[in-house]
Amino acid sequence: MKNRKALIIVDAQNDFMPGGALAVPEGDEIISVINSLLPKFDLIIFTKDWHPYNHKSFASQHEDKEIYDSVDLNGLSQVLWPDHCIQDTPGADLHPGIDFGKINGDFYFFKKGMDPEVDSYSGFYDNGRKNSTGLKEFLDERGVAEVYVVGLALDYCVSYTAIDAAMEGFKTAVIEDGTRSISPDINEVLQNFHEAGVSFIESWELEMYNLVK
Ligand code: VGL
Ligand code: ZN
C-alpha cells in the first residue's frame, strides 16, 4: 500500500551554516527542529551537495567573474557560488548537531552536484533534468505517498526538491521552521509552491493534524 511518509532533509551541511562557505542566515536554527522531527518518520532521506573542487558553479572556475554573477553554463543560467560542499571536506559534512540517535526508522543519503558541468539543486534531478539521482524510484519502491521537506536553502535546493517531489506525484509540504533562505525575499518561492501544489506548514501542525506519529 502506498501510504508512507518520508522526511527529506536537504543539504543540512556545514558550508550552509553560519561561518560556512555559503552561509545561509540562521541556517543552524533548523537543527533543533530537524531533531524534533527525526523520531516522527520511519523513512528519512538526507541529501548532500557533493561537488568536485572544480565544479563550474563555483566563481573560482571562471575568469573575470564574481561570486553571485550569473553565467551561461551549457545552456542553463547559473549563479556563481563561493566554493562549497567539496567532496570529503568538513564543509560537506552534515551539521554535527543532527542527532542520529533520535532516528527510529531507516535513513539514507543521496548525493548530488557531482558533475562539474551542471548544477543540481534538486534531490531528484540535475538543473538540466538530464540525470536523476534515483530518489523518485527509491521512494516509489518503498510505498511513499507523502514527503515533508526541510533543510537549506529554502530558495534553492529546498524549493527545487519540493517542486520536483510534487511534480512526481508526491503530496508535498515544506516545513517552514525547518528551513531558512539565502534571500530575505521569499515571495517568488511561495508563489512557486502555490502553483506546484506544495504546502508550506509549520512543524507543530504535524501533530495538530495527526500527520505523523
Ligand atoms: C545550494 C547553492 C548552491 C543549496 C547548493 O543547498 O540550496 N545553494 N548549492
Ligand atoms: Zn552547490
Give the pLDDT confidence of 160-197 residue by residue, as tens digits.
Answer: 999 999 999 999 999 999 999 999 999 999 999 999 99
Query: How big, in percent rounded to 5, are the helix, strand and coil portions of the chain?
Result: 30, 30, 45
Q: Which H helix or E strand runs over 187?
A: helix 187-196
Instruction: Choose one of 14, 47, 49, 179 to mutate for the ligand 1 pocket test, by most ligand atoms within 8 angstroms of C-beta.
Output: 49
- C-beta of 153 in contact with ligand 1 (< 6 A): yes
State the Cα–Cα distance between residues 33 and 153, nearest whole angstrom: 15
Q: Are strands 70-73 and 76-79 parallel, antiparallel or unpaired?
A: antiparallel
Ligand 1 atom closest to 151 (CA): 6
Question: What was the pLDDT predicted at 68?
Answer: 96
11 given a catalytic annotation: yes
102 given a catalytic annotation: no
Instruction: Choose one of 55, 110, 157 to mutate for the ligand 1 pocket test, by most ligand atoms within 8 angstroms of C-beta.
Output: 157
- Considering the entire predicted model, what is its pTM? 0.97
State the Cα–Cα distance between residues 209 and 188, nearest whole angstrom: 27
State the Cα–Cα distance between residues 79 and 11, nearest whole angstrom: 18
The packing angle between helices 159-167 and 187-196, to 10°, is: 10
Residue 25 clears pLDDT 80, i.e. is over it: yes
pLDDT band at 46 (very low <50, low <70, confident <90, very high): very high
C-alpha cell at 10: 536537504
- Among the listed residues 5, 48, 112, 136, the single catalytic one is 112
155 given a catalytic annotation: no
Ligand nearest the Cα of residue 47 is 1
State the Cα–Cα distance between residues 137 and 143, nearest whole angstrom: 10
